[in-house]
Amino acid sequence: AQSVSQHNHHVILSEAASLELGCNYSYGGTVNLFWYVQSPGQGLQLLLKYFSGDTLVQGIKGFEAEFMRSQSSFNLRKPSVHWSDAAEYFCAVGARQTGANNLFFGTGTRLTVIP
Partner 1 sequence: NAGVTQTPKFRILKIGQSMTLQCAQDMNHNYMYWYRQDPGMGLKLIYYSVGAGITDKGEVPNGYNVSRSTTEDFPLRLELAAPSQTSVYFCASSLIDRAYETQYFGPGTRLLVL
- Site residues for partner 1, window 21-80 (CB under 8 A)? 32, 34, 36, 42-46, 49, 51
Give min distance, CB of 4 to partner 1, in A: 7
Tally of CA atoms within 13 A in the half-sphere of 106 that contains its CB: 29
Residue 81: φ, ψ to 5°: -85, 150
Give min distance, CB of 100 to partner 1, in A: 5
- Site residues for partner 1, window 78-97 (CB under 8 A)? 90, 92, 94, 96
99 binding partner 1? (CB under 8 A): yes
Chain centroid to Cα 83, Å, comes to 18
